[in-house]
Structure 1
Amino acid sequence: MSRFNPHADNEPVLRTAELWRDDCLLGNGSLLDKGPIWTRENVAQLVRYFVENPDEGDSSFFEKLELQLEPASPEARCLAAEMLYMLLLCPSNIGPEKKRENVLNVWSWSQRPIDENQPLFQDDNLRGVGSGGTGFNNHRWREMVYLIRVVDGLLALDEPERRALLNDPERLPRWLEDIPENETRQFRHMLLFMLLPEEFERVFGGSDRKAIIVAYTGKKKSQVRHLSAREMDEALREIRAEQEEKENTVELDFYETPLWEDWHRDDTASWLFSWDPKHYDWTEFNRLREAVIAGDEAITSWICTNGNVSPGDTAFILRTGKDPKGIVARGNVANGPYEGLHWDPDKADAGEMAQYVDIQLTDVRDPAVDTFISLTDLKRVTVDNQNWNPQESGIEIKQRSAKVLHGIWDKLPPVVEPRKKSGPQPQTVEPPRNVVLYGPPGTGKTYEMRRLQERYEEKATRLKPEEWLADNLQDVTWWQTALMALIDLGGKAPVSEIIIHPYFQTKAKLHNRNERNLRATCWASLHSHTVPDSETVNTEASSRRAPYVFDKDSEGNWFLTNDWQDSCSEFVDKVEEIKKGPSGNERTIKRHETVTFHQSYGYEDFVEGIRPHVDADSQALSYDIEPGVFKKICDRARRDPAHRYAIFIDEVNRGNVAKILGELITLIEPDKRAVYGEEGQLRSGMEVALAYSGKPFGVPRNLDIYAAMNTADRSIAPLDAALRRRFQFRELIPDPQKIAGEKGDGYIPDGEGGLINLRELLSAINQRVEYLVHRDQTIGHSFFMNVRNIQGLRAVLVREIIPQLQEYFYNDWSRIQMVFGDTAANDDLKIIRRTSRSANEVFGQLDEDLPEAVQYRIVPEEEITADAIRKIYEPDA
């Protein structure tokens, strides 16, 4: 029977699923509380505010969900919490503490009390029954959307029909086929297992389902890949029946002997990567451990001496050199070896490079609190004399040793999640990020930059009143602040009242002005825009500037005069906007700036420089020192330490970076970043005197720097070695798996009843381009992201891919033919056709013997056939 599970107790999960079906899906009640929660009205709100209002920003799943559900009712937020509970019920790779924390967090948004000690929140009910894998956690929002759509469809049925459907193993999977993304969502398999455990397997991962069917049916992978989820269910049911008869028992599980060995043929290699804390301080260890526990992406870059490591291989990280020694992490290699600046700062300064791989960690263990595999335990594994304490990082683990090691690791108890201590938690200051995104065109650098920018944006509605006021005064000058204070005070007030006004006080905090300087600042601001014919203000008329809006009476009260309402109407509106407050304001607060480097871009544009100005009245020319975009964003970040700021630099390698940054090259280092006190004094970090103004300047710790560069234009090699040491380099490579196609599987219809595999097409093109040129000149996946049919594919090939290849090969059309596989194909299957004409054909009979003229022509878009495209990745088809 499929409900048999030798690894965990299924019954708590199945009892909860039965309760959910009866009380919620059929009774419209609540799973965790009382009252009507699973209603069509509440589901409709989740559809409106979550499903139809996607947030593609870089915030966490819960940060985005909370923002999306702000307009929803308390009952709808309770429903979201209960849906999350059901979503997390089956996976065993998320601990009970984390599940409980996440559900209670979402429930808290409803402001309704809940019994945290009820049985459904006990660990036994939350341990799960099988791994959902990293894919389930990384796509949690997609799984949530799928669940909402399923419930929305179910509640649209009357109760008798709903009851019959939920108990019918034939009808229910057919009904689910109408739900979008049904074929690719893991919760689909969890749902069927929970409701009908006698009929559906506890195999949630798509790759595992396919591997089992391939192993037991003898079908090719390409055949199984095209099976629907329902057809796979039927195949798994038949396989189980055959194996139960063969083994003469119903207590069989696909993740246990004897079935496990039949289908789990792991032909990937396993590698041992060394970590010596005496030489390398792995500062991200705790963050990565927490990310794995939370089900978030956890990727680390690691030095690797072996060039044979391949994507998909298993990586074990061995702590050595300092007790406790042993294996503390396991993961999967995300990409092949690549070169980067050496991790040792001294070697990096000398320009020395090292070889790295990126590892997607799936389990990280702290020896102080978690069970791990000690070096002593490792040395007991002697089946093939494996060296368990190597001097290098990236040693292949021999096959039999790897099998034993995997077995030991799989039996380790779950990672312990330390409970949060009561009371206020210490505030941690996030270290600054210096990141360069690099890769070929079309690999998502621009998309990633936009995604990162959203991390530094906030809706005005989320601001506190004091933050709202500060944001509105960021770019307001002192005299404008005085003007706004006077407007708010009724148009007339003495200096003593102006300087204690919230506008003036907030402006002082932004500029770190102390109280004894405020009166002088206020006087100077008022005098600078006093009407020229004032009888009470004795300042030199030449020092006054338009607009002339201030004057003072004989009692020392300053007032607004002249045509101030016309010349300063924008500030009247600004005062009204401040009074309304952030509530209901749709404005987005952006705490970032973007700039593009180019050959003529310099220090004066980026940091500060001298710029000419013409006085509007006298037409006199003057030269002033003005801040550049980087200094401006640094000043904003310094004045607002509670928030993070960022600058985004596009095409960073097109400018002379060392010259543009000048003396700031040292200040951008994370450990040199400046931290300022409330009065603006430097508390830690460094400052230097700027070249033009001579004023002290530091780069605030709460400013992040992101840069992007296109390796097809220029590699990272020319970048200054000192600069490369100060940045983390993150390569974005073509990822065919991100291509959706028509239905999310990478395929599009060819218009003739067949299919074209866009993922294999891109892989084939890039394999040839990399061979002929370089991996930096490959084609990115984004070219194909919006292709849904063959017409769109033809247009992309002719209008985007071919021009890109022309640039790569300097118009060598014979190479482009090689990329498309046109050299060996007949003319009907060619995309680039080659013709030749003799001199006699062109000029008539000539005495001179001239060579033939070779011409290449792109086949018109509408004439490119599906077979001509398919032959690129299936040359023998």
Structure 2
Amino acid sequence: MHTPLDADDLAIIERSRSASFISIAREIGQVFAHMLGDGRSVIDPAETIWTAEAAEDLRARVEDNPILGSTQGQWEKLDLQLQGAPREVVLLAAELVLLREHAVRNIRPDVRYSHVERVLAHAEPKVELPETIAGWLSRPTNTAGAHVGQGYFGRMWRHIIWGSSFVRYWTSLPESEREEARTDPWALQRVMLASGEDEAEFRNAMQFLARPDAFELITAADMKKRIRNGLADRINGGSGAGPYDIDRDLLEIRLELAREMTEPFNFWDSGVRELWDPTSNAVDPETDSPAEPRERHYWMYSPGEKASEWEQFSSEGIMGIAWDELGNLSAYPTKDAVRRALDPGGSGASKMNARLAVWQFQNEIAIGDIVYAKRGRKELVGRGEVVSDARFEPERESYQNLRSVRWTHIGSWEHPGDAVLKTLTDITKYPGYAQKLEALFVGVDDVELPVTSTDHLPAYGMADFLDDVYLPKERYDRLRSLLWRKKNVILAGPPGVGKTFAAKRLAQSIMGLKDPSRIQVVQFHQSYSYEDFMMGYRPNEDAGFTLTEGPFYRFCEEARADDSDRPYFFIIDEINRGNISKIFGELLMLIEADKRGQELRLLYKDEHFSVPHNVHIIGMMNTADRSLAVLDYALRRRFGFFEMRPGFDSDGFTRWQRGVDSRALDSLVRTLIDLNKVIAEDPALGQGFAIGHSYLTGPLEGEDLEEWIQSVVEDELIPLLDEYWFDEQARSAEWAEKLRAVVA
């Protein structure tokens, strides 16, 4: 039985939610108001689209006419399914696509925009997107929303079927039930669950967008369950395994955590994740492994309450942190150890802000980082560079845990907006914010944030590459030779063979060390252009346009300024997603190995430009994505192609496999090897669709091996086979059963 929440509880919960997450739900809220109300479209309010007739028409077009065959991707199939569709059906499809992608953070705004526009292209007469909706679609990547995987992106057609089925069911309900669902989030969830075969990821996204006051924006049902289970002790145990119980438990867990925390939070935030995922400790799940060299970080710091210690700290060239009762902070190996020390009475309080500040001061700040000292929320009093590791000075009366700082600026500056209240905040993930602060101190409007220069970068060579990347030595030698000879190489292969990982490791092995300043990664997409890649005009705050240099131009200039014998590596993910001629322009000639150093006049600038000899380009190409265009033949001539294959039989993988010593894993590997033979022999698929070894990269430390193997099979491999053999369900089911038998 769940505890009823009163008005004070709901107010606490509301304050605990991230403003950016609430914002994306509120702006899309009018879609739900019409969906559950008068049925009108937000794209064209003159049309009524949320009707049983339009929903059934759309459902039938997609579900009853799946367009068998594997030569087309899901968007091409949807184009065919929408041919001749009534205007209201096209608008309904567009708004369902809008909803499914509005909840996602890891999608580029131009891709989000192009998907909606692609659907609307079928409407007659032509539809113009209102400025409000165009603004929603332009939300930058990673601003807010759920981080979803390929399984979510690849199930667009299923999301449309589920959305259509929900609308059809909704309109069949008596008005009394609909009114209850409009006001009660749990009644709305019951309606969603009763509307047909559940599509949990899309339903979870829809629940949040419709009622962000009650639901978490976590799309994966198993992840919701994992978080609930990890925090169930906060509410005296979980109440059940169904969606309703898990979501109610998460709401009550949020309330308990919110009573202890002073600022909004998400369950993935540092300081919160460790509560339900003890294996995470100091490692951010969205960053590289701790072994990777780290770029410079930027910190907002309060030198005592209202900067009470600033005069002393600035004159002595130090920064310190309170909580002297903890003693030497180096004695605490984990964040949880810090939490327990801050809570000696064992009350179970999370002490989130204090724990995070203590941990980051001791373990995450690094030499070369930039610190901005603040007084309150409106004033900055200094800027400095960290020049020492953390140390403990017990002879001091207070602030015994210290770091040395070279304070480059001391004075008073108005902070742009309100600064955060916390003692210590890593603001690196907000590069625009850090750039504004740097501009305050250095007096330059367009500040580049440099990476930290260090004399102690980790060494990395061929032996390290062969340990990390499951590639035989003879193939590594061939790949390295190909890159040196052609200057440009493309790693081509199916998903899961480690193309991106191998590209970075290849660059590092050639450099002989892990130097992030000489590697840059970009990703191509259908709307990527020369102006994004090289240079072009961009709108400015004065309603005019400014010539802006792109990443490739800046990278080449950095390489040119360095010694010519120091190689630089420009890595392009999804290189075949872009319009190559449109992106490269005159660079198609300049990137050729025998044209390096030759100059051409740039399109947008009265300047002659060349690609330096020490710049190497590594592209990655997914051979299993049917939606991608065939590569430009002019590009093919300028790149060497290297096939990346599943590495189940490589020395490195078999060594790792023996170390795991699991019968289930051994059986799964044998099954995948057999499955890849079948995929390779399938004329509609082929070797380019083989399943790579990266699917079996291993569980997190402390994670149950059998649960991890079961999750890989159920949540990654079987959905992939459903997509591969969409038109051969018997074959997909056969191999699904074989895979399930491995973990039975």
Which band: TM-score by shorter chain? 0.3 to 0.5
Which one has a larger percent helix, Structure 1 or Structure 2? Answer: 2
TM-score by length of 2: 0.41
- Looking at CA atoms only, which structure, 1 or 2, has the larger radius of gyration? 1
